[in-house]
Structure formats: structure tokens, C-alpha cells
Structure 1
Amino acid sequence: MTNEKKGLSRRDFLKTTGIATGALVGGGVIGGLIGYNAKKDGKTTTDTNAVGGHEAAAVRGLMFFTNQQDFHVLSQAVERIFPEDDLGPGAIGLGVPYFIDNQLAGNYGSNAREYMQGPFFAGEATQGYQSRLTRAEIFRQGIARMEEEAQKRYQKGFAELDGGQMDEILTSFQKNEVEMKGVSSEFFFRLLRQATLDGAYADPIYNGNANMDGWRMKGFPGHQMAYINVIEEEKFQKIEPKSISSMQH
């Protein structure tokens, strides 16, 4: 988790998490294709909505969250993990909350394509998915627990806290200091962090990475048809990124 007070920039965060090595997260990893809007020039169409006091450009409409307050908690949490800075937009600006919402409404949230039969045992940190709960159930419980922690510690809703207070609560989840049922809070934090990165760098057809700004911050070209025109160039090539949607026209 990034911590602005400790001077950890997003650039440092990307380096230390391995994302800067070029191992980008593909949208297909986190679930099935979600509906999208695309112009014929390959850019996703966007509207501007206020999410928790921030402007977000993403495909509109919630598919999983029915409580707007829960969506605000999610939005503020992912923004703390991937904050806006001088390099570009943060999670909210990239539409990550909408990405996670849409994914939770599909196979990712229901674990429909995964083996979910017992027996269930507490997994080690090095093991994969071990909970009897689906991701949708884990996210619902995790968001409710974040709100409860905020009320208990500060007598405010999570979305009303300042950045340092949000970080304190998120760090408690990361350190497995918050009690959850059927899953550890540390595992919930890992899911939340990974989903945040997925939404920031997945192809925009999955409703995150708005306007491909996540790719632009990394200089990643997205899905090009070919590189034959620049393959022999010695200088670094700055290429305007393209979404999969541009290949369908």
C-alpha cells in the first residue's frame, strides 16, 4: 500500500511490486468480458461522475453494489492504494471502482469457474484461494468491516476520514489485525490490492484504465497490430496505446 507520509511515490510503488517490469495484468485474468462503449477511433466513451468527491471517467452504472455508501468506501480505499499524483490519475480517475464493481457482478465475484468444494482449511500466505466464501461475499464483508473500523476508531464513516486515518485502517487489514469471518483480513486486502492494479492496467473494455491513462503512465502501447515500422529503430518509441476495441472496426 502506498503511504504518502513516508514519501513512497507511485513510481517507487510500481517498481517494488514488479508491475514496472512489464508484466502487465490483462483484463481476461480477472473475469469475463463486460459490456463497453467504444468510438470508432478506438477510444472508450466516457462520462464524468463524482465519486466520493473526485471526478471519475469510466463506463457508467453499477452492476454489483446496490448501496452507494459501500461504493464510496470502495472508491476511497482503492484511491489510497493507487493515489493520483503528478504522474497521472489515481484509481478513481482511472475508473477502478467501476471495474471492480463490474467484475464482482460476474464470474470473478461468484468464483463460477473455480473449484469451491470443501474441506476448507486456513491457507498459508503462499497458497492460492482457500476460503469457502466467494469474492463477492469477501468484498461485501471487507467493506462493511472497514466502515465498522472507521466508526469504532474515529466515529466517522470510512469515506469521511482523512488519508492518514484510511491508511491506518487499511494497514490493519494488511497486517491481519481485523477479525473477519470465513476469511482473513490480510487475504481481503490482497484481493483488494490486486483488483486495484488489475483495474488500473486492464484493457479499457473491462471498464477500468480509463482512456488508457494507466498504460500511458507506463509508456505501454497496449494492443498494436504490429511493430514492423519501428522494430529496427534504436531509439525508444513512444507509441499511442490502443485498446482491443480498436481492432474490431
Structure 2
Amino acid sequence: MSPQDDTKGNENVSRRNFLKKSGYALGGLLVGGVVGSLLTVGQRQAAPSPAPQTQSTTDYNQALMYFRPDQFRMVEAATERIFPADENGPGAKDLGVAYFIDHQLAGDWGFNARDYMRSPFFKGETVQGYQGRLNRREIFDIALQEMQNYSQRKYQKNFADLTEEQQDEVLRAFEKDEIKLTTISPSGFFRILRNATIEGVYADPLYGGNKNMGGWKLKNYPGNQMAYTNIIEKDEFVKMPPKSLKDHLHT
């Protein structure tokens, strides 16, 4: 066989290999790095793909819906003084209570949508609850501004920048009506803030507070279990990890 025939033979073999490999690719293997591995059979193997990096999860429930950033810092600091962290567990800040209050103000609760809000308005007894024309959004806006003003007058600092002892003094002044305001009741605002703080600590995490169910864990509260049939007849106390409403979305 002449050298020319040998060259033609090599060309034919090369052409057949190319068509064969191309046929594999066109036959449905054109995904990912499969084609690359097919076209390098007998040659240097491709380096393995790097393992996917683990991305940190983001809690999208922790987003402001009503407060300005400066208002949020005040509420976060105030609620932490009402429910501070200690050796037993997290406080209001770590539990996301300020987000809970922010989300509530953004909804019906902030507008007093389910309350009777028509005049005439008279000062009622303590047991009667709030009697006035302002909704909770307006009360928070006014009270936070007055809290800032009082902190500036007394300590020449913003409330969020005060020491814990100074913040306690400001909150105590509101609680005891030592601050004279014409638009709102200082003690009335403090009661709303305190009640909202406790609710944020123990509400279902679905609503923005009680992060990681930390408030429930402090009380050994089981949260929203679907049933107790497996333990209801047991005499001893059964401690179980709490469950949120979100845990049952796909069950």
C-alpha cells in the first residue's frame, strides 16, 4: 500500500471517529459536560467540577414593613429592656420582636381595623382599654418621637445610644406618666409596647418574632403540634421540640 493510500485510510478512520462521537452528542447527550467527555475519549481527562459552595440562608421575614430604620433601632432597644437576654435564654432583640411589632403595625393591627373607633371619645377606666381617635400606627409614631425628644433633653443622646440604665429610666418615665404629653398617654403607649413585646416573644415565628422558636424553648412549650395521641396517656412529662405552623405546610 502506497503512503498516499495509508494517509487516506487514516483520514477515513478519523472521519468515522468524529462522526461516531458527533452522533452520540446529537443523539441526546448534549447536556452539562457530557459532550466534552465524549470528545476526549482516550485523551487527557477533564478536571472534575468543583463542589457547589454552600450558601448561607437568609431570613426574608426580617424586613421592615413600616418603621423607619431609626424607629426600628429604638423599638429594638426598648423591647430588649422589657425582655432582656439572660442566662436562661435570648432576649427580645435576638428573638426578632421588633420585626414582629413592625409587621403588626403594617397590617390591620396598626390601623385598629377590628376596633370600634368612632366618637365621642372619653377617658375610660384602665380595664376598658384604649379610648381615643388615634390608631396604633399614629401612637407609635408620636410616642417614639417623644421618647427621642425626652432622651435628647435629659441625656443629649438618642434613645438607642443610651446606656441600659438610662433607657430603663426613660421607659419608666413613660410607664409612670412622668412625661406630660397632650397627644397621647405615655403609660398607655408603654402598655401597648410591653404587650406587643410579650406577644412577639411567644407568637408563632411565622409572624416575625420568636426567632428559631427561642421563646417557646424557654417555656418548654411544644408550639403547634398536629396531635398528641402518642403521648396523651403517658403519666410523665414529655419534652418535645416545638413546631411552627410553617412546619406543617408540606405534611
Taking structure 1 as the reference length, the TM-score comes to: 0.75
Mapped to 2, the partners of 1:163 and 1:197 lie a distance apart of: 19
Post-superposition CA distance 1:102-133 (Å, at most 9, x none): 10011000011221110011122121221210
Corresponding residue for residue 132 of structure 2: 131
Q: Which has the larger radius of gyration?
A: 2
Mapped to 2, the partners of 1:83 and 1:95 lie a distance apart of: 12
Q: Please state whether the residue corresponding to 1:119 is helix, strand or coil.
A: coil
What is the root-mean-square deviation in Å for CA atoms of aligned residues? 1.5
Corresponding residue for residue 242 of structure 2: 241
Post-superposition CA distance 1:126-156 (Å, at most 9, x none): 2122121000000111111111111010001
Q: Is contact 1:139–1:188 with CA below 8 Å preserved after alignment?
A: yes
Mapped to 1, the partners of 2:203 and 2:105 lie a distance apart of: 15
Residues 46, 196 of structure 1: CA spacing in aligned structure 2 closer, same or farther, 3 A cutoff? farther
Matches within 5 A, 1:33-52: 47=58
Post-superposition CA distance 1:2-59 (Å, at most 9, x none): xxxxxxxxxxxxxxxxxxxxxxxxxxxxxxxxxxxxxxxxxxx964xxxxxxxxx772
Which runs of structure 1 show a deviation greater than 6 angstroms over 4 or more consecutive aligned residues? none
Mapped to 2, the partners of 1:46 and 1:235 lie a distance apart of: 38
**1:181 CA drift (Å):** 3.4
Q: Is contact 1:91–1:196 with CA below 8 Å preserved after alignment?
A: yes
Q: Please state whether the residue corresponding to 1:227 is helix, strand or coil.
A: coil
Paired residue type of 2:65: M
**Greater relative contact order, per chain length (Cα 8 Å cut-off, separation 6+):** 1
Corresponding residue for residue 91 of structure 1: 92
Mapped to 2, the partners of 1:46 and 1:161 lie a distance apart of: 33
Corresponding residue for residue 59 of structure 1: 61
Taking structure 2 as the reference length, the TM-score comes to: 0.75
Mapped to 1, the partners of 2:242 and 2:80 lie a distance apart of: 24
% identical aligned pairs: 51
Paired residue type of 1:219: N
Q: Please state whether the residue corresponding to 2:157 is helix, strand or coil.
A: coil
Structure holding more strand per residue = 1
Mind listing any 5+ residue stretches in structure 1 that lack a counterpart? 1-44, 48-56
Corresponding residue for residue 9 of structure 2: none
Q: Is contact 1:58–1:98 with CA below 8 Å preserved after alignment?
A: no
Paired residue type of 1:128: G
Corresponding residue for residue 76 of structure 1: 77
Corresponding residue for residue 49 of structure 2: none
Mind listing any 5+ residue stretches in structure 2 that lack a counterpart? 1-55
Q: Please state whether the residue corresponding to 1:126 is helix, strand or coil.
A: helix
Residues 127, 149 of structure 1: CA spacing in aligned structure 2 closer, same or farther, 3 A cutoff? same
Post-superposition CA distance 1:58-81 (Å, at most 9, x none): 72210001x211111111000000
Paired residue type of 1:222: G
Q: Please state whether the residue corresponding to 2:126 is helix, strand or coil.
A: coil
Residues 77, 149 of structure 1: CA spacing in aligned structure 2 closer, same or farther, 3 A cutoff? same
Paired residue type of 2:130: Y
**1:182 CA drift (Å):** 3.4
Matches within 5 A, 1:11-22: none
Paired residue type of 2:145: A
Residues 58, 150 of structure 1: CA spacing in aligned structure 2 closer, same or farther, 3 A cutoff? farther
Q: Please state whether the residue corresponding to 2:235 is helix, strand or coil.
A: coil
Structure holding more helix per residue = 2
Mapped to 1, the partners of 2:155 and 2:91 lie a distance apart of: 25
Corresponding residue for residue 17 of structure 2: none
